[in-house]
């Protein structure tokens, strides 16, 4: 989607969206009394009226009090509605009216709606609507563009199936995206991972025919306000069959190409932070492999020695995310980080608990970090909800033959998983389980069909607010 400023006079002679406020400034737009009455009536129930004005599309959207986060989200959704209503009608559309914030929110929702994963059609559908212009000089188009681009890139990676996006290909995609930015990347390959004895990552990779990778991103602003880095860790399971504990439920494997959504979100966030020139020092760590059954696959009953020396009794090979994340979290210690956040499609339990509407958050970082993150979540509508992180949940991870086992009991699976991960940390830690919001099976909003890019707008906003 091409966003461009166009400081034209308000006319009704082109495809235009009018953002009008509650008290109605409709009179500013050279409309007849009858037209105003028609619009007021239409805007009453739906905030959205579309009229064909001698071949031009004119859309009126009612903007409510933007001090409320919920109303901000309504404007993004109006951007989605407008995109859906006009995508086959016009090639460009102009936005005018109301505040800078209203225009920015609208453009964000509109641009995020424009994404489709069309690469694999032999005859890709040509999108007609490809440009949006606006007349508010204060609209920060390059910031919106950077954040939208990062979100759509994360979606694209999630949507890529494993027959293209292997662990090595994921590393290549990250290197390509970081090229030309201030982000440095380093990819550790199978041999290096073996010499480092990353036992968790290697165990999950044993059933695979493709090598594992461990990608490190670093963005260090010269103006960095944090002396110790913030480390972002993303689960990069490029496909999760469950391994020998093959996924048991019908259909549950269909969307498992999404199991690297945490990796996509974290890599996209580091790169966006660099493009936005945020005054921070940020490291990204992406452990990646697929999880498959195979002649040599890791097996229930196996005891694995992890990167930090901890021994783990594997009782379910489908609990693989924690195995690879544990090694990345131990690796993160060497940076003496100020804070570590991970994002992972880690448990079905998180999705059952909260559905697609928020990320499950937990951890031992100071409460003020959760409050900041929660605020960023409401501001972007990429929301988090904080769950308890009490030590009682850790008791369930005790093994009778090793330091820990990789599964807990029947309840609160997202928290027992989080407590398992905490074992590998020695710094303030936040765990984000994005299993619920990371993948959409219907295009019902600007969040898109398939990968949603969840976590990117949340974390960019959070980091910007620091």
Binding at 316: pick from Zn ion, ligand BES, none (beta carbon under 5-8 Å per type): ligand BES
Task: Give CA–CA dist 26/194, Å, rounded.
Answer: 67
Question: Quick one: 363 or 408, whose CB is closer to ligand BES?
Answer: 408
208's CB contacts (< 8 A; 6+ apart) are 289, 290, 291, 292, 294
Question: Mask: binding to Zn ion, 250-289, rule CB under 5 A, as x and -?
Answer: ---------x------------------------------
Q: Which two tokens stand for residue 303?
A: 């005891």
CB atoms within 10 A of CB 216: 17
Question: Is 345 a residue that touches ligand BES (CB under 6 A)?
Answer: yes
Question: Is 149 a residue that touches ligand BES (CB under 6 A)?
Answer: no
Segment interacting with ligand BES (CB under 6 A) among 102-110, 142-150, 168-176, 317-325: 317-325
322 is catalytic: yes
Closest CA to 384 of 362, 413, 364: 362
Question: Which of 116, 259, 290, 342: binder of ligand BES (CB under 6 A)?
Answer: 259
Task: Give CA–CA dist 370/362, Å, rounded.
Answer: 8
Residue nearest to ligand BES (CB): 348
Strand 230-234 and strand 281-291: the pairing is parallel
Binding at 347: pick from Zn ion, ligand BES, none (beta carbon under 5-8 Å per type): ligand BES
Tell me which residues in 105-124 interact with Zn ion (CB under 5 A). none
Question: Quick one: 318 or 422, whose CB is closer to Zn ion?
Answer: 318
Instruction: Kindly state the smallest distance separating residue 281's Cβ from Zn ion, in Å.
Output: 30
Segment interacting with ligand BES (CB under 6 A) among 12-20, 312-320, 374-382, 389-397: 312-320
Question: Which of 193, 319, 332, 343: binder of ligand BES (CB under 6 A)?
Answer: 319
Question: Is 413 a residue that touches ligand BES (CB under 6 A)?
Answer: yes
Tell me which residues in 321-360 interact with Zn ion (CB under 5 A). 321
* 311-to-45, 288, 304, 306, 399 alpha-carbon distances in Å: 60, 21, 5, 6, 10
Instruction: Kindly state the smallest distance separating residue 335's Cβ from Zn ion, in Å.
Output: 25
Question: Is 452 a residue that touches ligand BES (CB under 6 A)?
Answer: no
Question: Is 240 a residue that touches Zn ion (CB under 5 A)?
Answer: yes
Question: Which of 240, 327, 342, 461: binder of ligand BES (CB under 6 A)?
Answer: 240
Active-site residue among 25, 40, 197, 247? 247
Is-contact 194 202, C-beta < 8 A? yes
Question: Which of 407, 454, 456, 463: binder of ligand BES (CB under 6 A)?
Answer: 407
Determine if residue 84 is left, alpha or beta; phi over 0 gives left, psi from -120 to 50 gives alpha, anything else beta. Answer: alpha
Question: Which of 95, 174, 349, 460: binder of ligand BES (CB under 6 A)?
Answer: 349
Is-contact 286 267, C-beta < 8 A? yes
Instruction: Kindly state the smallest distance separating residue 255's Cβ from ligand BES, in Å.
Output: 7
247 is catalytic: yes
Instruction: Kindly state the smallest distance separating residue 252's Cβ from Zn ion, in Å.
Output: 10
Segment interacting with ligand BES (CB under 6 A) among 31-39, 160-168, 225-233, 314-322: 314-322
Which residues are catalytically annotated? 247, 322
Binding site for ligand BES (CB under 6 A): 240, 259, 316, 318-321, 345-349, 351, 407, 413, 435
């Amino acid at each position: 989607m091409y966003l461009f400023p166009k400081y034209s006079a308000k006319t009704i002679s082109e495809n235009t969206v009018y953002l009008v406020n509650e008290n109605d400034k409709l009179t500013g737009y050279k409309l007849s009394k009858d037209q105003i009455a028609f619009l007021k009536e239409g805007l009453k129930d739906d905030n959205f009226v579309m009229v064909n004005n001698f071949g031009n599309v004119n859309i009126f959207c009612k903007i409510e009090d933007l001090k409320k986060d919920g109303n901000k989200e309504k404007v993004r959704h109006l951007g989605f509605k407008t995109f859906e209503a006009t995508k086959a009608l016009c090639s460009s559309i102009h936005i005018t009216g109301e505040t800078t914030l209203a225009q920015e929110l609208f453009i964000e929702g509109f641009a995020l709606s424009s994404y489709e994963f069309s690469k694999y059609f032999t005859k890709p559908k040509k999108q007609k609507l490809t440009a949006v212009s606006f007349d508010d000089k204060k609209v920060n188009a390059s910031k919106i563009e950077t954040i939208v681009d990062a979100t759509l890139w994360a979606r694209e990676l999630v949507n890529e199936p494993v027959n293209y996006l292997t662990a090595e290909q994921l590393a290549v995609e990250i290197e390509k995206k970081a090229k030309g930015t201030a982000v440095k990347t380093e990819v550790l390959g199978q041999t290096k991972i073996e010499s480092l004895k990353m036992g968790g990552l290697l165990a999950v990779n044993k059933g695979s025919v493709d090598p594992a990778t461990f990608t490190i991103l670093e963005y260090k602003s010269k103006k960095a306000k944090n002396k110790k880095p913030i480390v972002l860790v993303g689960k990069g399971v490029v496909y999760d069959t469950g391994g020998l504990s093959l996924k048991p439920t019908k259909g549950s494997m269909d969307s498992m190409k999404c199991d690297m959504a945490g990796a996509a979100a974290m890599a996209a966030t580091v790169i966006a932070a660099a493009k936005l020139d945020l005054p921070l020092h940020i490291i990204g760590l992406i452990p990646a492999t697929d999880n498959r059954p195979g002649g040599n696959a890791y097996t229930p009953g196996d005891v694995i020695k992890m990167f930090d020396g901890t021994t783990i009794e594997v009782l379910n090979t489908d609990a693989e995310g924690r195995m690879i994340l544990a090694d990345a979290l131990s690796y993160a210690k060497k940076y003496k980080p100020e804070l570590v956040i991970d994002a992972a499609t880690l448990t079905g339990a998180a999705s059952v608990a909260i559905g697609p509407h928020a990320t499950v958050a937990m951890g031992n970082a100071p409460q003020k970090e959760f409050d900041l993150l929660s605020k960023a979540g409401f501001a972007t509508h990429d929301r988090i909800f904080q769950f308890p992180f009490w030590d009682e949940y850790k008791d369930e991870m005790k093994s009778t033959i090793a330091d820990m086992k990789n599964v807990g009991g029947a309840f609160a699976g997202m928290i027992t998983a989080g407590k398992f991960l905490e074992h590998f940390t020695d710094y303030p830690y936040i765990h984000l389980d994005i299993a619920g919001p990371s993948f959409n099976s219907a295009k019902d909003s600007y969040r898109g069909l398939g990968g949603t890019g969840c976590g990117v707008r949340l974390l960019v906003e959070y980091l910007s607010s620091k």
